[in-house]
Amino acid sequence: MTGPGPVRFGVSLAPDASVSLLGTARDADRFGLDLLGVRDEPYRRGTADAVTLVAAALAATTRIRVLPAVACLPLRPPAVLAKAVATMDRLSGGRVELGLGAGASPDGVDAYGGTRPGGAAAARRALEEAVQVIRMHWSDQNGLRFDGEHYRFTALRAGPDPAHQIGIWLGVTGPHGLDLAGRVADGWIAPSSLVPPKRLADGQRRLDDAATAAGRDPAEIRRVYVLEGTIGGREPGGLLHGPPRQWIDEMTELAIGHRVDTFLFGGDPEQLAVFALEIVPAVREQVSRERGVARV
């Protein structure tokens, strides 16, 4: 098993139809953040299309990686999504990743014309099939054919090829979803509101066990934690609700104690500068120092 790599930092944004999202994307790029995630909520009134926003954010930036975090699978046919993501990756010089989920709001999916997969088990099977279809689409094979329970796909040729090996990071929270991520995914995206630190430790173990059982190195699976909180005040107000010093200590513990290797700030975009310019450098330094002590 390989050792821990550098911790990455980014921001998770709502699919805002205004130009403020592009301004935040430029700020995140300028501040040196690694990732920009756009949440996919097409069934919510007033939201913009997340995939279109990913393309616009890529055009507005120069170095940051951008991803739907996470794409709503029941409203995104996997072969079409694969083509869109690969196209954006090629045009951006390899700056796209893919977050994918089974759909957080079945009622919203249904209201927006999508198809409910028919229970949690069926939703997981659809998610697994989608990963297969997407990877097939990105392969260099010809004469492609997939005939699954939920998806069918036939193409004489795959493509377009992405510019780099795009990671597929699954947004799952339950034990069976973690088993799936451990078997087939390149990463796990977990929101702090649904997976607090106590659950995070159990989830990490489940992910590791599933990866090992599938013959994979668990260390190769990225662990992405969406930080849903508020920066400010002088006193702690609970996890991720408090002054910058509290955030620094809590994020360091999440990285060292819970093996989180990627953080996406999901709070108020107005607080992004404090997160990126004050908290992130301090967390990098503290994690590096504590890892160094641990190796002695």
208 located within any domain: yes
**pLDDT on residue 3:** 57
91 located within any domain: yes
Query: Residue 125 corresponds to which amino acid?
Result: R
- Out of 123-132, 143-152, 211-220, 280-289, least confident range: 143-152
Q: Which residue has the tokens 């120069």?
A: 62
186 located within any domain: yes
Of residues 108 and 283, the one with the higher pLDDT is: 283
63 located within any domain: yes
Task: Kindly report, residue by residue over 123-144, the tens digit of the pLDDT.
Answer: 999 999 999 999 999 998 888 8
265 located within any domain: no
**pLDDT on residue 2:** 53
Task: Kindly report, residue by residue over 254-279, the tens digit of the pLDDT.
Answer: 999 999 999 999 999 999 999 999 99
Residue 94, pLDDT > 50, answer yes
The total number of structural domains in the chain stands at 1
Neighbours of 186 (CB within 10 A): 17
Average pLDDT over the chain, rounded to an integer: 93
Residue 267 near residue 227, CB atoms below 8 Å: yes
149 located within any domain: yes
**pLDDT on residue 295:** 52
262 located within any domain: no
- Out of 112-126, 177-191, 245-259, least confident range: 112-126
Closest CA to 70 of 100, 45, 28: 100
Residue 296, pLDDT > 50, answer no
Of residues 44 and 183, the one with the higher pLDDT is: 183
114 located within any domain: yes
Residue 25 CB partners (closer than 8 Å, separation 6+): 13, 36, 57, 60, 61, 64, 66
Of residues 104 and 55, the one with the higher pLDDT is: 55
Give the sign of the dihedral formed by CA 270, CA 168, CA 5, CA 197. Answer: positive
In the chain, the percentage of residues whose pLDDT exceeds 90 is: 80
| Beta strands per DSSP E along the chain | 8-13, 35-38, 65-68, 71-72, 98-101, 142-147, 152-157, 168-171, 187-191, 222-227, 230-231, 241-242, 262-265
Which domain CATH number covers 166? 3.20.20.30
Q: Which residue has the tokens 């339950």?
A: 174
Q: Which two tokens stand for residue 76?
A: 């995104």
**pLDDT on residue 1:** 45
Question: Cis (ω within 30 of 0) for the bond into 197?
Answer: no
- If phi > 0 it is left, if psi is from -120 to 50 it is alpha, else beta; for residue 264 that is beta
Of residues 81 and 19, the one with the higher pLDDT is: 81
**pLDDT on residue 46:** 87
**pLDDT on residue 236:** 83
Task: Kindly report, residue by residue over 166-177, the tens digit of the pLDDT.
Answer: 999 999 999 999
Of residues 115 and 248, the one with the higher pLDDT is: 248
Neighbours of 235 (CB within 10 A): 8
Instruction: Please provide residue 116's backbone torsions phi and psi, each rounded to the nearest 5 degrees.
Output: -65, 135
Of residues 103 and 258, the one with the higher pLDDT is: 258
pTM comes to: 0.94
Domain that holds residue 208: 8-225
